[in-house]
A and B are shown apart, each in its own frame.
Chain A
Amino acid sequence: MEESYEVREGVLIVGLGHELDDHCATRIRLKTDEWILEGGIQGILFDFSETVFMDSSGIGMIIGRYKKMKARGGFVGVAGVGRNINRIMEISGLYKIIEVFEIQK
């Protein structure tokens, strides 16, 4: 399953697929950067509701987007994080910079 992109109230919501590895991260990096460069979004929210696997490539991709959004005065958040991916985020220290949101379907 590929990712979905939707803007809601100025926030780009990236609905992540089943897995987030290097293969997917490369694709998401290019796509989200198009949105960032275009301007007009205040934040990016990565929705993990459907995601069951992530490795360090996912962490790198999120931190990269965080740096770009922060430089533009924006934010990056995550939502719908399950137990396994939560563990990866905790070990990597991602929660020190990334906000956790609840998402309403």
Chain B
Amino acid sequence: METNQMTLEFDSISANESFARVAVAAFASQLNPTLEEIEDIKTAVSEAVTNSIIHGYEKKHGMVRLEARLDFIRNELSLIITDWGCGIENVPRAREPLFTTKPELDRSGMGFVFMEVFMDGLEVESRLNQGTVVRMRKIISKQPEQ
């Protein structure tokens, strides 16, 4: 077995933020990550899915798609999080630390920063009124054989 893939699609409600990160963590456990790597992945997934729910759909109803792929040769997890919401007007600005369009909702503007810090690659593609696709990957360190 060289790869393993899964796709989840769920309603854009905040209760699904924990579902999404726990599901990815469980799936990624096949790559035998450390506890810290699992935490990194959970945080990054939580940020991306929360963005789709809060910013993409602005709490209106929509669907979020989460694709995960494990590569056992490269020992790498790849994630694609897609929404069909309002899109991001200016992606480079959205990725800046502390930038937020919703300060009134106490958003910290750190979501993309955490995705960047905790993963090994982040790409954001967005079109206004069409949606946003976030691609992330993380290399899982090879653990010494027991």
Residues of A in contact with B (beta carbons under 8 Å apart): 19, 21-23, 25-26, 29, 53, 55-57, 59-61, 63-64, 84, 88, 91-92
- Asked if B75 is an interface residue, CB under 8 A from chain A, the answer is no
Given contacts A63-B106, A84-B39, contact A23 B14 (CB under 8 A): yes
Q: Considering the complex, give the chain A residue whose CB is closest to the CB of B38.
A: A84
- Asked if B111 is an interface residue, CB under 8 A from chain A, the answer is yes
Q: Considering the complex, give the chain A residue whose CB is closest to the CB of B105.
A: A60
Asked whether, in the complex, the Cβ of B106 is within 8 Å of the Cβ of A55, the reply is: no
Q: How far is the CA of A59 from the CA of B36 in the complex (A)?
A: 19
Pick from A22, A23, A56: contact of B114, CB under 8 Å: A56
Set of chain A residues within 8 Å of B26, measured between Cβ atoms:
none
Asked whether, in the complex, the Cβ of A56 is within 8 Å of the Cβ of B15, the reply is: no
Set of chain B residues within 8 Å of A57, measured between Cβ atoms:
46, 50, 107-108
Given contacts A56-B108, A56-B114, A57-B50, contact A23 B43 (CB under 8 A): no
